[in-house]
Structure 1
Amino acid sequence: MYNTVRLWDIRSNKQIQVFNGHTDCVLSAEYSPFVIKNRIGYSNVICSGSWDNTIRFWDIRSNKKALYMIKGDEKIDDGIICLKFIELKKKNKTNDVKYDLTLCYGSCKGPIRIWR
């Protein structure tokens, strides 16, 4: 139960999706500002960090396995405790992309990391 990420409809107070894959307690979750294209159209992404020292990306339309996983450094990180997406305005427009998206995360042993 603590190893899952759950998506809720706050209007109806009902659970919509359960995302399984973490092997230890989930400590943080963040809604991602980017959209992915999949076989059923476009979908948004949720990102979660766990005591299992991984960050996982989930398609909110599907409760299948994670889209992508980042593994933290076992000796230096020892668990992902917080996440934050930061959008920085790009200096040069490239392929109609106006923003650079950066993921910052904090770990149990202290380092704050930036993943691009």
Structure 2
Amino acid sequence: MNTILSGSRDRSVRLWDIRSGQQTQVFSGHTNETWSVEYSPFLIKNNIGNSNVICSGSNDNTIRFWDIRSNKNELYMIKGDHKEDGGIYCLKFIGLKKKVKTKNVTYDLNLCYGSLKGPIRIWG
């Protein structure tokens, strides 16, 4: 992958081509600064084939998931606890191995996020 993500005070998420240095897409929907961005391990199937998903965390206390191929559509939104979180400042996907005795190892995928007021939460 030759792309990089950025979040901005202008409330946007931007996708950049690192070879050319050019911006390739802008995702809009947050209502406050976007502090964190992350490539998601999720793939979705749509009418143009498989598509990658990115997510972004904002001071508006939401985490938004975006489809990078289908017209920059927002796929899903998670709202944090406004009173206890006060804004989403960092995101990280982690896989936790299930404790099942089998030859096929299964992983639970969780999204961890850190907030302005301190709590770290796990969603998944």
Q: TM-score, normalised by structure 1?
A: 0.89
Match of 2:113 among 93, 97, 105: 105
* 1:97/1:4 CA distance change after superposition, 3 Å: farther
The alignment-based identity, stated in percent, is 73
For 2:36, give the aligned amino acid. Answer: S
Return the offset for 1:97. 8.7
Match of 1:13 among 21, 27, 31: 21
Matched, 1:47 2:93: no
Aligned length: 114
Return the offset for 1:62. 3.0
Unaligned runs of 5+ residues in structure 1 are: none
Q: How does 1:15-34 map to 2 (within 5 A)?
A: 15-34=23-42
Unaligned runs of 5+ residues in structure 2 are: 1-7
Question: 2:26, 2:70 → 1: CA distance?
Answer: 9
Higher relative contact order (CA 8 A, sep 6+): 1
Structure having the higher strand fraction is: 1
In structure 2, the partner of 1:79 is: 87
Aligned to 2:74, what secondary structure does the other structure show?
Answer: coil
